[in-house]
Amino acid sequence: MPDVILAPRNKEEVAQVVQVCAENKIPIVPRGSGTNLSAGTSPSNGGAVLLFKNMNRILELDEENLTVTVQPGVITKTLIDYVEGESLFYPPDPSSLKISTIGGNISENSGGLRGLKYGVTKDYVLGLEAVLPNGKIIRTGGKLAKDVAGYDLTSLLVGSEGTLAVITEATLRLIPKPSYKETILAMFKTLEDAAETVSAILAARIIPTTLEFMDQGTIQVMEDYKQIGLPTDCEAVLLIEQDGAIETVVKDIERIYQICSNYGAIDVQKAETEEEAEDLRSARRDALSALARLRPTTILEDATVPRSKIAPMVREITRIAEKYNVTIRTFGHAGDGNLHPTCLTDIRDKEEMERVEQAFEEIFYASIDLGGTITGEHGVGEMKAPYLEWKIGKAGIQVMTAIKEVLDPHNIMNPGKVFAKSTKERLVMANV
C-alpha cells in the first residue's frame, strides 16, 4: 500500500510533487491503470503513487505533421479510436489497451499483436515532456522525423518503467490507416509445421500485420471454453492477418494460404466477413480469459526469442513444465518470437508456487540461451529484476545502474524496480 495517492492536474503540479518527494526522499510510483504484468507499478517501498486521471486529454492532432500530442493518462483505446476516426493509425496495441494508458505504454515500451509489421511503442514516440528526479522539466524530441541533437533521451525514457522521470506529455507519430484487412486461421498437426510456415511466409518476403500462435494446451482450453470448432488434436494454431491496400492484401493472403497448405496445415479458415474475422481473432484474443478459468492463479510471462527459435522454445517450455509438474500453456506473437508461457496455478499452495518459480527461471534461462530475452513487452518491474543480469551481463547492469544513480541519486523514482538487490544464481542445466 502507498502512503499517499496523488492525482496531479498538470506538469507544474507533478514538478512540485517531485520536488517535495526529492527533499524528503519519498518514493514516487507513477501509475497509469496498473495493468503492468511485472509488478512495475506496485508501491512496494511505500511512498506516493501518482495517478494521471486528471491528465488524460488528447491535446492536439496535427494532420500536417501526422502527430498526436497527449497527456499520459489517455486510455490507449481512446487514442486509437480517435485517430482512426481521422483515417490515421496508432499501431501499438497491447492486450490491455481497453484500460491501459499511453503513459503506462510508454513507460513499459508496450508491444502488442501488430508488432511484427509495425513495431512497438518506442517506434511511435517522437517527443516527451518529463519531470526529472530533481523536479526540473525536460522536453525531448519534437514533431520531427529526424533529430540527432545529442543523446536520444526520448528512447532512454521509453521503457524506463518510471525509474528515471515522470512523463507528463508525449508527441506520437501516426501513419495512414490501412484501408483493408484479411484474416485467416490455420491449424497444424505439429509445432514444427507451424514454425516452418512462419519462416516460409517471411522467406516469401511477406510481413503480415499479425502472426499469432497458440499451442495445443491453449487450443484445448479455448475449445472447452467456447466450442468454436478448433481441432483439439493439433499442436499449433496460427492466426494470420494482413492489412494495407486491397490488391496487396488479397495477393499476400492468397500466397499465405498457399504456404500454409504446402507446409502441412490440416485446415485453413478464411474470414469472409468482419464478423467471421472477429470470431477467428477471438480464438486467440480470448486465450488468456479461457486459461484463467482453470485455476485460481494465472501467471502470464513473456519470454522472447528470435522468431526462428519459436519451435525449440515451445518444446523447451513443454519439457520444463513436465519436469516441475506444473501446468503451462503457451500462446503469443509467433511473428516476433514474443511468447506468453502462461502458468495456471494457485498462489495459496506454497510448494507448488516454488516449483512454478523454478520452472519460470528455467524458461528465462532457455530463452536467453536461444538468443532471446527475459521480457519482450511486459517490462522487468520487480518480478524479473533478479534475472536482468542474465540478459544484459554485469557490464550492462553497471551501465544501467550508473545512469539510474546519476539521474536519481536519492533513488526516489519507482525504487525497487528494474534493478534487484541481488541477481539469481544461474543453475547449470545440461540439456539447454
Chain residues 183-242 in contact with a second copy, contact rule CB under 8 A: 199, 202-203, 205-207
331 is written with which cell numbers?
A: 500462446
> Cα angle vertex 152, ends 149, 153, to 5°?
110
- Residue 219's identity, in one-letter code, is I
Options 16-24, 287-295, 314-322, 405-413: segment touching a second copy (CB under 8 A): 405-413
Tell me the per-residue interface mask from 349 to 378 with a second copy, x by CB under 8 A, - otherwise. ----------------------xxxxxxxx
Of 5, 7, 402, 429, the residue at the interface with a second copy (CB under 8 A) is 402
Of 325, 348, 351, 406, the residue at the interface with a second copy (CB under 8 A) is 406
Could you say whether residue 393 binds a second copy (CB under 8 A)? yes
Tell me how far apart the alpha carbons of residues 15 and 134 are, in angstroms, rounded to a whole number: 9
Options 1-9, 218-226, 228-236, 386-394: segment touching a second copy (CB under 8 A): 386-394
Of 69, 160, 168, 216, the residue at the interface with a second copy (CB under 8 A) is 160
Options 1-9, 76-84, 175-183, 271-279: segment touching a second copy (CB under 8 A): 175-183
Our CB check for a second copy shows the closer of 85 and 296 to be 85
Could you say whether residue 115 binds a second copy (CB under 8 A)? yes
Our CB check for a second copy shows the closer of 353 and 407 to be 407
Our CB check for a second copy shows the closer of 3 and 63 to be 63
Of 143, 295, 319, 424, the residue at the interface with a second copy (CB under 8 A) is 143
Our CB check for a second copy shows the closer of 144 and 228 to be 144
Of 1, 148, 427, 428, the residue at the interface with a second copy (CB under 8 A) is 148
Of 35, 71, 109, 318, the residue at the interface with a second copy (CB under 8 A) is 109
Whole-angstrom CA distances from 314 to 140, 240, 291, 331, 417 are 40, 19, 17, 9, 29
**299 by DSSP, 3-state: which?**
strand
Listed residue (327, 190, 197, 180) closest to 260, CA to CA: 197
Binders in 249-288 for a second copy, by CB under 8 A? 251
Tell me how far apart the alpha carbons of residues 33 and 357 are, in angstroms, rounded to a whole number: 26
Of 400, 412, 413, 420, the residue at the interface with a second copy (CB under 8 A) is 400
Tell me how far apart the alpha carbons of residues 73 and 32 are, in angstroms, rounded to a whole number: 6
Our CB check for a second copy shows the closer of 2 and 112 to be 112
Sign of CA dihedral 292, 294, 298, 303: negative
Tell me the per-residue interface mask from 313 to 352 with a second copy, x by CB under 8 A, - otherwise. --------------------x-xxxx--------------
Our CB check for a second copy shows the closer of 12 and 346 to be 12
Could you say whether residue 312 binds a second copy (CB under 8 A)? no
Options 147-155, 231-239, 279-287, 353-361: segment touching a second copy (CB under 8 A): 147-155
Options 53-61, 246-254, 257-265, 274-282: segment touching a second copy (CB under 8 A): 246-254
Whole-angstrom CA distances from 286 to 101, 186, 198, 223, 378 are 21, 17, 22, 11, 18
Our CB check for a second copy shows the closer of 143 and 424 to be 143
Of 3, 23, 63, 346, the residue at the interface with a second copy (CB under 8 A) is 63
Our CB check for a second copy shows the closer of 99 and 207 to be 207
Our CB check for a second copy shows the closer of 19 and 248 to be 248
Sign of CA dihedral 391, 310, 251, 271: negative
Could you say whether residue 145 binds a second copy (CB under 8 A)? yes
Q: Residues 6 or more apart from 240 whose CB is under 8 A from it?
A: 183, 184, 185, 186, 201, 208, 210, 211, 212, 253, 256, 260
Listed residue (294, 275, 295, 283) closest to 223, CA to CA: 283
Our CB check for a second copy shows the closer of 16 and 327 to be 16
- H helix intervals, 286-422: 287-292, 310-323, 350-369, 388-407
Our CB check for a second copy shows the closer of 150 and 273 to be 150
Q: Are 38 and 378 in contact (CB under 8 A)?
A: yes
Tell me how far apart the alpha carbons of residues 337 and 211 are, in angstroms, rounded to a whole number: 10
CB of 121 to a second copy, least distance (A): 9
Tell me how far apart the alpha carbons of residues 296 and 39 are, in angstroms, rounded to a whole number: 19
The DSSP secondary-structure symbol of 294 reads: T
* Site residue total, a second copy (CB under 8 A): 91
Listed residue (133, 103, 139) closest to 121, CA to CA: 103
Q: Are 158 and 249 in contact (CB under 8 A)?
A: no
Sign of CA dihedral 299, 300, 304, 307: positive
